[in-house]
C-alpha cells in the first residue's frame, strides 16, 4: 500500500502546489520559490480558531430579505484611502494591504485606526511584529489619539480569534499575516499553508461577525515567507503600496475591489509625522522640473479615473561600443525599443548608433500607451539637442507606421494641463471631437510622429 504523502511543495510567490520539488514554478515562472511544507492539519485543537469560529452558525437567507443600507461604509477620514477603497471602509469586508517592508503599511493603518476610533468606532490593532511600546512610539509620531484603541501583541491566531469573537470590534488590523500562527496547521509561520489557513479564519470572522479586517502582507522577493499574492483570491479588496522607499511619495493602488472600481490610486507622502495626502499629484510630480533642458517633455497619463501629469526625460548620446545601449526606468524597455525603431524607419533618424536612456521623473512606473508621443518627443529633443517648449503637454499612442493614435479620456487630460497652467497641448488628430469646445489652451492636433517633429 502506498504511504500517504506527508508533505507537499508550495511556491512562496503565488501559492502553486506541487507533489515534487521544481526549480521553476510552472504558474508564476519564478525560480527557487518552491519549499516543502507538511500537508496534514493537527487534530489537537478543538477550541481552536479555524474550527471554532462560528462554523455552522450561518443560515441561508432569501435574496429578497437581504437588506442594504448606505451606512455600511465608514469613512477613514483619509480622502485618498477612501477613494481607493471605493468610497470608505465596507463593513464585513476583508482587505489586504500589501507592499514592500518599510513602505508605510503599518503607519497608514495606524492613522486609519486613530481617525475611526476618534469617531467612536471600536478598533483592535493586532501586531505580531511590534511590541505595544513600539506601536505607542509610532503613535506618538503620528499625533494625538483621542479615541479608544486596543492593542494586542500576539501571534497566536486561536487566542486572537477568541478575543475578536468576544469583543466584536468594528475594525481589526492584523499586522502582518506572515507572523500569525494557526495551531491547526503544522507548517511554520509565514508558510503558504499557514498564511492561507490564517486568512481563512479571518475571512470567516469578518463575514460572520460583520466586522472589517485589514490584513497586512509583506511582499518578499527571496521567497522566505509567502507573499500576499497567495491570498489575493480570498479577500474582498487588495491594495498595494508602491513607490521608492528612499523617495518620499507612495502610491496606494487597488488591484482588486469587490466594492468599487480598481485602478484607483491614492498618493501619499511620508513626513516626519506619518503619511500625508497629496491632494494634487500632478503639481507634486512636476515640482523641481528643469524646464529649459533638452530631452524633457511633460505628458499626461490616466491613473484610475484621474489624469496625472508626469515628466519624461530622455538622454540620447553617441554610443562608445559596437552596439547601442538602451535603458528605460519607470516604463517598458520593449516599448522604448519599438519607438526608437519607428523613429529610425518612419522618420529617418539615425538612432542605431546612439545610446538612449528614458526615465520617468519621480520614480513612478507607468505603462500607458498614451506616453508614446511624449517619449518620442523627449528622444528627438535630446537627439537634436533642442528643448521642447516648457509650457507644452503631449500625449498620444504611436503606432508602428508612425501614426499617432487616439487615447481615452482626452478631454480630462487637456483640462488637467489647463488647470496646471500649461499653454499648449499636443493631442492625436483622431481625438479631435473630444477636444472641441475646450477654451483657454492652444490645442495642436497631430497625425504622425513626423508632424510632431516638424512642430518641434
Residues that bind ligand TYD (CB under 6 A): 99, 101-107, 138, 141, 270, 272-274
**Residue 234: partners with Cβ closer than 8 Å, 6 or more residues away:** 94, 196, 199, 200, 203
CB 67 within 8 A of CB 92: no
CB of 321 to ligand TYD, least distance (A): 40
Binding mask 62-101 for Mg ion (x = CB under 5 A): ----------------------------------------
CB of 215 to Mg ion, least distance (A): 12
CB of 237 to Mg ion, least distance (A): 19
Q: Residue 368 to residues 308, 396, 398: CA-CA distances in angstroms?
A: 12, 10, 11
Select 97 or 393, whichever has its Cβ closest to Mg ion: 97
Q: Residue 372 to residues 277, 311, 394: CA-CA distances in angstroms?
A: 29, 13, 9
13, 33, 93, 106: which one binds Mg ion (CB under 5 A): 106
CB of 370 to ligand TYD, least distance (A): 31
Distance CA 46, CA 217 (A): 28
Select 274 or 402, whichever has its Cβ closest to ligand TYD: 274
CB of 28 to ligand TYD, least distance (A): 23
Cell readout for 236 is 474582498
Of 104-112, 145-153, 359-367, 432-440, the segment contacting Mg ion by CB under 5 A is: 104-112
CB of 272 to ligand TYD, least distance (A): 5
Select 105 or 196, whichever has its Cβ closest to ligand TYD: 105
Of Mg ion, ligand TYD, none, which one does residue 15 interact with (CB within 5 to 8 Å by kind)? none
- Using rule CB under 5 A, residue 301 touches Mg ion: no
Of ligand TYD, Mg ion, none, which one does residue 168 interact with (CB within 5 to 8 Å by kind)? none
CB 194 within 8 A of CB 185: yes
Sheet containing 326-329: order of strands = 326-329, 354-360, 306-318, 296-303, 392-394, 424-428, 442-446
CB 253 within 8 A of CB 239: yes
**Residue 152: partners with Cβ closer than 8 Å, 6 or more residues away:** 124, 125, 126, 127, 160, 163
Binding footprint of Mg ion on the chain (CB under 5 A):
106
Amino acid at each position: 500500500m502506498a504511504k500517504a504523502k506527508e508533505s507537499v511543495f508550495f511556491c512562496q510567490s503565488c501559492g502553486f502546489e506541487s507533489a515534487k520539488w521544481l526549480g521553476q514554478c510552472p504558474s508564476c515562472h519564478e525560480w527557487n520559490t518552491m519549499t516543502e511544507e507538511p500537508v496534514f492539519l493537527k487534530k489537537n485543537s478543538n477550541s481552536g480558531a479555524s474550527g471554532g469560529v462560528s462554523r455552522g452558525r450561518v443560515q441561508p437567507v432569501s435574496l429578497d430579505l437581504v437588506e442594504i443600507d448606505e451606512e455600511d461604509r465608514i469613512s477613514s477620514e483619509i480622502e485618498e484611502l477612501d477613494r481607493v477603497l471605493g468610497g470608505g471602509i465596507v463593513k464585513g469586508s476583508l482587505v489586504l494591504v500589501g507592499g514592500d517592508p518599510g513602505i508605510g503599511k503599518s503607519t497608514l493603518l495606524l492613522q486609519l485606526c486613530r481617525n475611526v476610533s476618534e469617531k467612536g468606532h471600536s478598533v483592535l490593532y493586532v501586531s505580531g511584529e511590534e511590541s505595544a511600546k513600539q506601536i505607542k512610539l509610532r503613535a506618538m509620531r503620528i499625533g494625538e489619539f483621542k479615541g479608544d484603541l486596543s492593542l494586542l501583541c500576539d501571534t497566536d491566531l486561536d487566542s486572537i480569534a477568541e478575543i475578536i469573537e468576544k469583543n466584536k470590534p468594528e475594525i481589526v488590523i492584523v499586522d502582518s499575516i506572515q507572523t500569525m500562527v494557526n495551531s491547526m496547521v503544522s507548517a511554520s509561520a509565514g508558510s503558504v499553508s499557514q498564511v492561507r489557513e490564517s486568512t481563512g479564519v479571518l475571512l470567516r470572522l469578518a463575514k460572520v461577525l460583520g466586522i472589517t479586517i485589514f490584513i497586512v502582507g509583506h511582499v518578499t522577493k527571496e521567497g522566505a515567507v509567502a507573499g500576499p499574492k497567495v491570498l489575493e483570491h480570498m479577500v474582498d479588496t487588495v491594495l498595494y503600496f508602491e513607490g521608492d522607499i528612499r523617495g518620499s511619495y507612495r502610491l496606494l493602488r487597488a488591484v482588486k475591489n469587490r466594492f468599487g472600481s480598481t485602478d484607483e490610486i491614492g498618493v501619499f507622502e511620508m513626513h516626519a509625522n506619518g503619511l500625508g495626502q497629496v491632494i494634487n499629484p500632478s503639481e507634486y510630480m512636476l515640482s523641481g522640473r528643469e524646464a529649459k533642458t533638452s530631452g524633457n517633455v511633460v505628458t499626461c497619463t490616466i491613473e484610475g479615473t484621474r489624469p496625472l501629469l508626469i515628466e519624461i526625460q530622455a538622454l540620447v548620446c553617441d554610443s562608445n561600443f559596437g552596439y547601442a545601449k538602451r535603458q528605460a526606468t519607470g516604463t517598458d524597455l520593449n516599448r522604448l525599443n519599438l519607438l526608437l525603431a519607428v523613429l529610425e524607419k518612419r522618420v529617418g533618424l539615425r538612432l542605431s548608433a546612439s545610446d538612449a536612456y528614458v526615465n520617468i521623473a519621480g520614480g513612478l512606473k507607468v505603462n500607458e500607451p498614451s506616453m508614446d508621443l511624449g517619449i518620442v518627443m523627449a528622444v528627438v529633443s535630446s537627439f537634436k539637442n533642442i528643448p521642447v517648449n516648457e509650457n507644452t503637454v503631449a500625449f498620444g499612442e504611436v503606432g508602428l507606421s508612425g501614426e499617432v493614435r487616439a487615447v481615452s479620456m482626452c478631454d480630462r487630460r487637456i483640462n488637467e494641463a489647463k488647470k496646471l497652467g500649461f499653454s499648449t497641448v499636443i493631442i492625436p488628430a483622431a481625438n479631435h471631437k473630444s477636444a472641441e469646445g475646450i477654451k483657454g489652451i492652444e490645442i495642436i492636433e497631430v497625425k504622425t510622429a513626423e508632424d510632431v517633429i516638424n512642430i518641434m
